[in-house]
Amino acid sequence: MNVLRGFATTFKHILEEPVTIQYPEQSIEFQERYKGRHELHRYENGLEKCIGCALCAAACPADAIWVEAAENTDEVRFSPGERYAKTYEINMMRCIYCGYCEDACPTEAIVLGHEHRLSFTSRSEAIFTKDVLLVEAPEGTQATPQRVRPGTFDRSIPDMEDPL
Amino acid sequence: MGVTSKLGNLGVVTTTLDTAINWGRTGAMWPLLFGLACCAIEYMSTQASNYDLSRFGMELNRATPRQADLLIVSGRVTRKMAPVVRQLYDQMASPKWVISMGDCASCGGVYNNYAVVQGVDEIIPVDVYVAGCPPRPEQLLDGIVMLHEKVRRETIKEWA
Amino acid sequence: MSDTVKIYIDDKAYDVPAGMNLVDAAKMAGNDIPVFCYHPKMEPVGMCRMCLVEMGSIQKDRASGEVLLDDKGNPQIRWFPKLQTACTTNVSDGLVIRTNTPQVDQARENVVEFLLTSHPLDCPICDKGGECPLQNLTMEHGPGSSRMVYSDKLKLDKHVPLGDLIFLDEERCIQCARCIRFQDEIAGDDVLAFHERGRSLQIITNSDPGFDSYFSGNTADICPVGALTTADFRFGARPWELTEVPSICPHDAAGSNISLSMRLDRDHGGRAIIKRVMPRQNENVNEIWISDKTRFGHHFTRDEHSRLLCPLVRRGGNFNETEWKTALEYAANELQLAGGSVAAIAGSGMSNEDLWELRQLVTGLGGERLGAWPPTHAGADLVAQVGVGQGTNLGDLGKGDAVLIVASDLEEEVPIWRLRIKQAHDRGALVVVMNGRPTRMDDFASTVIHYDYSKAAGAFDLLQKEHGDTARQLTGAKNLVVIAGAEGVDLAGSRALMQAAANFLIESGHVGKPNNGLMATFPGANGMGQYYLGFTPEATQDIIANPPKVLFIAQADLLFDDPAAVSWLKQVETIIQLTLFAEEPVPGVTAALPIQSFAERDGSFVNGERRVQRFYTAQGPIGQALPAWQVLNRLGVQLGLGRSKLSASILMNEIAQSIPAFAGITYKALAHVEPQFPLVGGDDVYYGGTAYRNKGGLGVQIPAAADNGGAVTKGKVEKPAAIKASGGQLLVVPATRLYNRERVFRSSELVHPRVPDAYVAMNAADARKLGIENGDMVSISAGGSTLKVRAHVNGAAPQGAVILPRHLSDTPAPLAITAGEVSKA
């Protein structure tokens, strides 16, 4: 009798649709909160949001982020404030995608996106530099460094709507 | 190497043979039944029906290294575990491949300390590193696809 | 003890030294009263109001002096009606304060909130962020949220260069006046001031060039916010990312204790480099201050372009890069051929360990002559005899004590001594300055005596004969320190001067005691070490007179220092040079071997007060450079002289066994630390600034021969013939400038605007006679060289002499005073 009950279950499932996702041909929709590869964002005028404060590096539990800062001038301007990230590197292989960097960032420059294809054939490939991490400049704006009129940007950190 | 030096350039023979051999290798690359830490959980779910590794001919997790082709190092390798991992690798028959799954296996990850090997490539050669902590099944599948591509690029000249 | 008083902090009794500042006393008792404007090294001003506490005093019966008790039998306390500032209060018996009441908490919160009304929210990019008193105290005492509208904050200029080295952020300034008070009270360069009033109040500099002080960097350390930042470190790294390595300033005889803040750097191939140099507390040496040369003169340690990266040997006229093995074999071969005619000249930047190995090598090969470079300052043996006693602290000198500074421009030679003696003068010490020309030290002197440069060696005769009152004041002082330089004298003159100084001290009994004795402004960091390890300027003179077959030149820039060097070096067959820099090789040099700078290796220096101090390895080597001791040791092994040695600490053990002065000194003893007051460098950065706590060792002072009752006798002063200028000639007096173009300083580009163009200071009368006006180019022929420099006719030189600063132009100025021709170019 038990044998029959077992077969009944089997036959019931035979008729069901397979649950298998045919990855990589098809993929499930990731949740909005999913934390994938990082992106460094820009303002609408093309300047980088990152101010090189290295708080992301301080917050990083895996020591995956390396930031070196330098000072902007009006001739060579990367970000609206005084300071920008001269070097910004994330070791994708060390990063644990916890998103603390995103939380620590005072200017919402670093954001974890949804890109998840992160396989490498060597360790050095996994170090993403600033060029790789930065998103494209919005259309109609000049990529950084920009040359700006003196006095346009005189704040150390761009004024934000809600600093809290 | 050997083949070409003995028999000369065999041209179309070797390239066709390459395709055939690599089709065989990528079609049934049996992983070793071996898990170290949390990444192994993701590895299990990759095996399970939602992602179903058998689509890649990898449904057979061999519990002995002698019958395995692929070592997926899924988790942090402690200094005490290192000799074991090395022995397992040594016992595998060639051709054999290694995927370092997740941050800890790849470079130590958050465990930047004396007890953990800072990257399993310190003890065995790694073909593909999969980032993530732990990597989603998709990410591991990406790594496997990348490994397959790598294997497909191998030619008989290099190893025979 | 009679000099302590009992005070009550939060109902607990403490015994503290009488008359001590209340903030300091509370700090000693373990109770941190928060402050912004108060600094333990400076007079209180009570400007920030952060230190408000409840204060009262225990009531005593006026007639009997007995403590009055209340109904419950507790002492009656009369409380002040309002809160009082702790920093403007000195402790007295029966003082009662409370720091933990709601009233005090409220006051602190209000003060912080008030300060934050106009303080920008740019902590993420502020260099002080992470070690900021305002940040810390806001977290501790401040309000949790702001009542202010962010967009209404005061917006001011954020990038005001106060000088070439210091930037002011006007928004961040909380107007505590610490920087202004430091410049006025401690540095004595009163170049900062407040401008305007109220909300418009700003820090300005009133000097030209801006912030003209050799101590400007210290203001950035004590600034309780990020208002003052240094050009060197601006946005260099966040404080928590830095690794601190204790070290010693390699530039002058003070031996300032420093802390090197290291961090890896992408631009330097991922190597660790010095991001900034910070003071490390040593109350006996540099307190918590360092000079700007110490702070900003470190760039040579990382400069791959100027440093020698691999050994070079000359083969058939060509100078080839080679491996260490080849170079050492080659050098060893040359040394074997010399047949004992070997000598060495070692610069004053060599550590004790380097000098020891050099000595072992040269004496092992049968050589005897060990020369010290530069051969300008004699009398190190006298400093070893009657130098300042063990336990000397210039910070202890005060009323009743005296300091005599002779033949030295102290501010340019050893700025930290000048800073500390300025403070001694403020405390009431008698400071007498004797020189042939006006110097900066004159501003802080009680008596200034100017002598004729031709009689510089006999300055003490002049003092005793013509300034008897001053001489008597000096000899009668409780403590007397004599600081002697070698400006305006040649080597023989320097010896005469030093001997006269030693005799003066011995006669008046000012030897063998702490805070008494002789100090000398030896150039470089290890002038005394040279003496203790047997390197003397007299031997250098001998080497110049009779050049050996093989000469070691170790970390000495002979060609840049001495115009005569080119000619006498030609007579040396083989020159083996140990050098930091890939400069034009000395003519005829056979092998140039790269050595490591102070930041790349460990070692020890002996400062001008004979304090042996240890520095630690901070960064990896540049190129293939090795520590000098290792190069010399490997050469010795190649030649079959002794065994290979593994570490600098082993060499120090050897030195301690062989050289009596170093008896008992080990690296462990040098690393010994004791608690010092004021307590700086903890988490409470608001108290003493961001100077670091000393974790690398306070050093060990070598006792002078006169210490512990040792007998010393006066020596004969052999005065050399006076150097006279005849027939239209003028005396050319080489002088030292702190900022110059020496090779170690050339890589520090940010200080370049402050290095003066080559000039000569002339007296107006001489200039008129020669038809020279201020700003004219003049040509000076003296001591075998001809220099073309600009004339400054500004009263800085006495009649009959011109002051020619060394190391300002590429042509070397004479090493010592000499007569020379001056003409309009």
pLDDT per residue over C34-43, tens digit each? 999 999 999 9
Q: Which chains touch B (3 or more CB pairs under 8 A)?
A: A
C chain contacts of residue A86, beta-carbon cutoff 8 Å: 266
Instruction: Quote the minimal CA–CA distance from B7 to chain A in Å.
Output: 32
Q: Which residues fall within 8 angstroms of residue B94, CB to CB, at 6 or more apart? A: none
Q: How far apart are CA C205 and CA C192, in angstroms?
A: 4
Indicate the average pLDDT of chain A: 89
If you ran DSSP here, which 8-state letter would residue B128 be given? E
Chain C residues inside the 8 Å CB shell of A77: none
Q: Cβ of B55 under 8 Å from any chain A Cβ?
A: yes
What is the bridge-based pairing of β-strands C369-372 and C342-346?
parallel
* pLDDT of the residue at C120: 87
Q: State the average pLDDT over residues A112-139.
A: 93
Dihedral angle, C-alpha C571, C574, C576, C579, nearest 10 °: 40
Residue-level pLDDT at B3:
58
Return the amino acid letter for C332: A
B8: pLDDT confidence band, cut at 50, 70 and 90? Answer: low
**So where are chain C's domains?**
4-100, 112-230, 312-376+527-659, 380-520, 730-824
CB contact under 8 A, A62 and B110: yes
Confidence of residue A163 (pLDDT cuts 50, 70, 90): very low
For residue A96, the distance in angstroms to the closest alpha carbon of chain B comes to 5
Print burial letters for C596-624: b (CB count within 10 Å at least 16), e (below 16). Answer: bbbbbbbbbbbbbbbbbbbbbbbbebbee
Task: Please tell me which of the candidates A23, A61, A123 has its beta carbon nearest to residue B119.
Answer: A123
Distance CA C665, CA C678 (A): 27
Sort strands A83-91 and A127-128 into parallel, antiparallel or unpaired.
antiparallel
Contact across the interface for A52 and C169, Cβ inside 8 Å: no
Q: What percent of chain C has pLDDT over 90?
A: 74
pLDDT above 60 (res B4): no
Q: Which of A94, A115, A132 would you mutate first to test chain B, the one with the most B CBs within 10 A? A: A94
pLDDT at B5 over 70: no
CATH of the domain spanning B30-151, picked from 3.30.70.240, 3.40.50.12280, 3.50.50.60, 3.40.50.1370: 3.40.50.12280
How many residues make up chain A in this entry? Answer: 164
Q: In this predicted model, what pLDDT tens digit does every residue of C141-153 receive, in sequence order?
A: 998 888 888 777 8
Fold of C112-230: Alpha-Beta Plaits (3.30.70)
Mean pLDDT of A33-42: 93
Q: Which residues pair with C431 in a beta bridge?
A: C403
Judged by CB atoms closer than 8 Å, whether chains meet at B132 and A23 is answered as no
Please give the structure tokens belonging to residue C508.
């008046």
Second-level CATH architecture of C730-824: Beta Barrel (2.40)
Section C100-115 average pLDDT: 93
For residue C125, what are its two tokens?
Answer: 């990019």
Q: Does C236 touch chain A (CB under 8 A)?
A: yes
pLDDT for residue C678? 85
CB contact A57 to C (< 8 Å): yes
Q: Which of C260, C256, C218, C261 is nearest to C239 (CA)?
A: C261
Q: Angle of helix C537-545 relative to helix C491-507, nearest 10 degrees?
A: 160
C-beta contacts of C647-653 below 8 A and 24+ residues apart = C648/C351, C648/C353, C648/C601, C648/C602, C648/C603, C648/C604, C649/C602, C651/C352, C651/C353, C651/C356, C651/C357, C652/C352, C652/C353, C652/C604
Neighboring chain A residues of C169 at a CB cutoff of 8 Å: 156
E strands, A1-135, in order: 38-40, 65-71, 83-91, 110-112, 119-120, 127-128
C-alpha of C197 from chain center? 36
Tell me the one-letter amino acid at B139.
Q
pLDDT at A164 over 70: no
Query: What CATH number labels C4-100?
Result: 3.10.20.740
C242, pLDDT greater than 70: yes
Helices (H), A41-162: 55-59, 100-104, 130-133
What share of chain C has pLDDT > 70, as a percent? Answer: 99
Q: Is the pLDDT of residue C80 over 90?
A: yes
| Amino acid in the structure at residue C92 | S
DSSP of C428-492? T-EEEEEESS--GGGGG-SEEEE--GGGGGGHHHHHHHH-HHHHHHHHTSSSEEEEE--TT--HH
Q: Is the pLDDT of residue C187 over 60?
A: yes
Both tokens assigned to C351 = 């550590």
Average pLDDT over residues A68-89: 92
Global pTM value: 0.91
Fold of the domain built from segment(s) C380-520: Dimethylsulfoxide Reductase; domain 2 (3.40.228)
Alpha carbon of C333 to those of B20, C542, C574, C591: distances in Å?
66, 25, 11, 12
Q: Can you state the angle between helices C459-466 and C468-475, rounded to 10 degrees?
A: 100
Q: Given pLDDT bands bounded at 50, 70 and 90, which one contains residue C584? A: low
Beta-carbon separation of A120 and B128 below 8 A: yes
**Distance (Å, whole) CA C36 – CA C137:** 9
Considering only CB atoms, which chain C residues are within 8 Å of A81?
A: 122, 125
Q: Fold for C312-376+527-659, please state it.
A: Rossmann fold (3.40.50)
Over 60: is that where the pLDDT of B1 sits?
A: no
The yes-or-no verdict on residue C1 having pLDDT over 50 is: no
Q: Using one digit for the tens of pLDDT, what is the confidence trace for B80-128?
A: 999 999 999 999 998 899 999 999 999 999 999 999 999 999 999 999 9
Closest CA to C513 of C707, C714, C284: C707
Instruction: Give me the residues paired with residue C145 across strands.
Output: none
pLDDT at C395 over 80: yes
> Are the Cβ atoms of A82 and C266 closer than 8 angstroms?
no
> Per CATH, which fold does A29-133 belong to?
Alpha-Beta Plaits (3.30.70)
**Residues on chain A touching B131 (C-beta within 8 angstroms):** 92-93, 95, 118-120, 126
| One-letter amino acid for residue B80 of the chain | K
**pLDDT tens for residues C209-241?**
899 999 999 999 999 999 999 999 999 999 999
Q: A interface toward B at CB cutoff 8 Å?
A: 18-24, 27, 61-63, 91-98, 116-123, 126
Contacts of A87 in chain C (CB under 8 A): 266
Q: Say how far apart CA B28 and CA B57 lie, in whole Å.
A: 4
pLDDT in tens, C424-472: 999 999 999 999 999 999 999 999 999 999 888 889 999 999 999 999 9
Prediction ipTM score: 0.87
Beta bridge partners of residue C8, listed in sequence order: C13, C96
Per-residue b/e over C275-313, b at no fewer than 16 CB within 10 Å? bbbbbbbbbbbbbbbbbbbbbbbbbbbbbeebbbebbbb
- Between chain A and chain B, the number of residue pairs with CB atoms below 8 A apart is 88
Residue C672: burial class (beta carbons within 10 Å; 0-12, 13-18, 19+)? exposed
pLDDT range class, residue A160, cuts 50, 70, 90: low
User: pLDDT tens, B69-84?
Assistant: 999 999 999 999 999 9
What count of other Cβ atoms lies within 10 Å of the Cβ of residue C58? 18
- Listed by start position, the domains of chain A span 29-133
Reading the block at residue C650, the tokens are 């082993």
Inter-axis angle of helices C352-364 and C628-638, to 10 degrees?
20
The average confidence (pLDDT) of chain C is 91
Confidence of residue B6 (pLDDT cuts 50, 70, 90): low
The mean pLDDT of C266-279, rounded to a whole number, is 93
Mean pLDDT of the C573-601 span: 88
A156 touching C, CB under 8 A? yes
Per-residue confidence band for C795, with pLDDT thresholds at 50, 70 and 90? confident
- A68 interaction partners in chain C (CB closer than 8 Å): 237, 265-267
CB contact under 8 A, A116 and B142: yes
H-helix or E-strand spanning residue B142? helix B137-153
Q: What is the pLDDT of residue C188?
A: 92
pLDDT of residue C144: 84
Largest CA distance in chain A: 89
Helix residue ranges per DSSP H, B28-136:
38-47, 82-91, 102-107
Please report the sign of the dihedral spanned by the C-alpha atoms of residue A65, residue A71, residue A77, residue A81: positive
Domain boundaries, chain B: 30-151
